[in-house]
Amino acid sequence: MAIMLSGHVIGLLKEYMQDLVEQARQEASAQERFGFAATAYRPDHAISDLLALLDDRIESEGMQVGLPQGFLHDMWSLCNDASAQVTDRVYVEVNVGSEAGSKARTRELTYRALVAFIEARGRALSQGEDEAEA
């Protein structure tokens, strides 16, 4: 079953994603100050972190901010569908770009690719509905 998210929900997702990117930047800064080396961090880690944050946010504020019923399940499905495409895109961007593949950078690229996937799927779904109505 294809899932279409409203602009409001995509906006909330982008805010949550930005929170996670900023958190990773702060963690990296703290680790550098204490001399810790960064560990490998992959797109699937970024997606898992996003789903964990969504679970927490739904628990604490889901209804107040307008997240729909079943949203976490829908996001799990979307992330599963997007996983290979997102991983490939992040791999290419990390290996082509000049910026190091830090946790923050991996999250940023992963979430950008995930939002692009969600928005493209939404456009495809709405075009399919328009064609069905014609």
Dist. CA 84–CA 120, nearest whole Å: 15
The predicted-structure confidence for 50-60, as pLDDT tens digits, reads as follows 999 999 988 88
Please report the pLDDT score of residue 77 as a whole number.
93
Q: Tell me the per-residue pLDDT of 19-70, one tens digit each, with 9 for 90 and over.
A: 999 999 999 888 888 888 777 889 999 999 999 999 998 888 867 888 888 8
User: What is this structure's pTM?
Assistant: 0.85
pLDDT value, residue 122: 86
Per domain, the residue ranges of the chain are: 7-133
